[in-house]
Amino acid sequence: MAKKLIGKVALVTGATSGIGLATAKRFANEGAFVYITGRRRDKLEAAAAAIGVNARGVVGDVGDLGHLDEVIQIISEEQGKIDIVVPCAAFAQAQPLGSITEESFDATFGINVRATMFTVQKALPIMADGGSIVLMGSIAGAKGNAGRSVYSASKATLRSFARSWTMDLKARRIRVNVLSPGPTETASFANTPAEAKARLAAQIPMERLARPDEIANAVLFLASDEASFVTGIEMFADGGFAQV
């Protein structure tokens, strides 16, 4: 079977673990050269090694616009273009209304919204016409959960971005979509008691949490030419959790 991303250059931020790393691996396996970012050099080097020869790690914080400039400059000098942008870096903290702090609010919107927007905007000058942007949403943007209002609002913002950017970028045929996962077996669940995970799984029609590679498969579809007539949508990979 032919690989789906031969000759493509991708940028995946927050790709040292979980969904971001699974996505970067999937892209590389499909023939893309993948640039990944992360704040810790040791984790970034380990992730790049796990991906293989088609990966390059750039250390830095996506919340730092100067760092984003450096990332784009490196890609421009080494590849001359970007075909796919997937901002995966995210921040989540549970705080119920009445105890939300300014620091938590700023951190959540700073990474989930501000960094996502500037990652995309700074990539645009070297982004190839006909490229693909996949924003990493969450079912939290469509469901109400106690203590998660700020995080949920930040993810709902990405849905709005996709609609507007689809119109902003239509002349360049750059597709913009949102992929919204449900609960996924990542580090965020590492310390969750088995009983709590079982209760959560029981609420999902497929009666289990997703694997990161399953989410990466959905990102690959939106990023590839198989989704050539798909733009402006939010696609859920949630086992039906937010759908029924």
Active site residues: 151
CA 100 vs CA 15, 18, 23, 140, 210: distances in Å: 28, 27, 32, 17, 29
Q: Which run of H or of E encompasses 11?
A: strand 9-13
**Using an 8 Å Cβ cutoff, are 217 and 161 in contact?**
no
Say how many C-beta atoms besides its own lie within 10 A of residue 229's C-beta: 7
Token pair belonging to 217:
């498969």
CA 41 vs CA 12, 140, 148, 177: distances in Å: 16, 30, 30, 30
Residues 6+ apart with CB under 8 A from 8: 27, 31, 32, 33, 83, 84
Among all chains, which residue has been given the structure tokens 């989410």?
215
Q: Which run of H or of E encompasses 87?
A: strand 82-87
- The one-letter amino acid at 121: Q
Backbone angles phi, psi at 134, to 5 degrees: -120, 110
Among all chains, which residue has been given the structure tokens 């949920």?
152
